[in-house]
Structure 1
Amino acid sequence: MTLRFPSSVLRRAILVMGGSAGALALAGCIPPASDAPPAPRTEPVAAPAPEPAPAPPPSASADIPPLEPHPEEWIDQPQTAGDWRWRAAGTESVAEFSDPAGAILARLVCTADRQVLIAVAGSQPTRGVRVRTETRDALLTANLREGWLETRLVARDAILDAMAFSRGRFALEVQGGRALYLPSYPELTRVLEDCRR
């Protein structure tokens, strides 16, 4: 027995089969996809801008006029003639440096409020006293009071320790005045110890 299909059915079957064969033929022309991941895209990276240099710290003595020059090799200058003496004055501990005639040239005082007063004899209107030691220098603001140039420091200020342990001596230089080259004797240490108790 022979099966007969209407011509329209046969035409549709041929078209479907032909389309499938064409799709298969085209699929054979496309290369298979690669399993490797695509290469990363590289984009230029801008270098970070350099950080600006920090501003220098303000000078603590910027308002003090510069001192007149004194010898750079102050440690080799002759020691100022005289000696230190310690005394108690009420609740204050006092070390005074006097010349051979007995005139007081400098004093360190542990005040009642536990500050150290450095005073240098003088009457010139100045605002600067420089302390020079083996390990550090300090330019201090000074006020003129009753024939003394005075400055105050907290009892733990490092310049005070430097004065007490400065190769046997330290210098007090007054702007427009003389320089004192004073020995680092135990009387100074006594004042500091009294002020730090």
Structure 2
Amino acid sequence: MTCGLTYQVQGLNNVPKDQACIILSKHQSAWETVALRLFLPPQTALLKKSLLWIPVGGWALATLKPIAIDRENQREALKSLIDQGIARLQEGLFVLIFPEGTRAAPGENKKFNAGGAMLAQKSGYPVIPLAHNAGEFWPRNSFLKYPGTIQVKIGPVIHTEGRKAKDINAEAEAWIAQAMAEISQTH
């Protein structure tokens, strides 16, 4: 049904069943914005506010209780992420964050923004790193999709109590980089 595109998930056993978490995920395509909802617990996502203005699609996104931020005002965006993120976590929702801020092409690594790690530091909730190679099959800014099996790798829980955001971010970034090296078909 989807151009011969399937997926395989490793590490689902790393996802806690008794506590919400912050998911720091690689962002390569539109695939993960939809597919992660299929195999991860109920979640909300951090997204740019302008996505909510898209007719029909944006309105549908709004029903998922996203944390919508204005990226032009970074101070207010961080405050919104922390305040709304803590509220969603306390409601039992996982919070999905793409720390690179925007989609990166396969093989491209963008600097991790500190927002997700700041949320983890302030809330004390754990982080789950997530890597995938969806961009190799469902490229950004492309109508074309290619058959194959997307590899998703979920890392072990990163405990955040008493840790600095910088250290949390570095650990998640290193794990994701290593996982991407293992699953990428473009190297």
Normalised by the length of structure 1, the TM-score is 0.25
Task: Point out the structure with the larger helix share.
Answer: 2
TM value normalised by structure 2: 0.26
Structure of higher RCO (CA pairs closer than 8 Å, 6+ residues apart): 2
By percentage of residues, which structure has more strand? 1
Larger Rg: 1
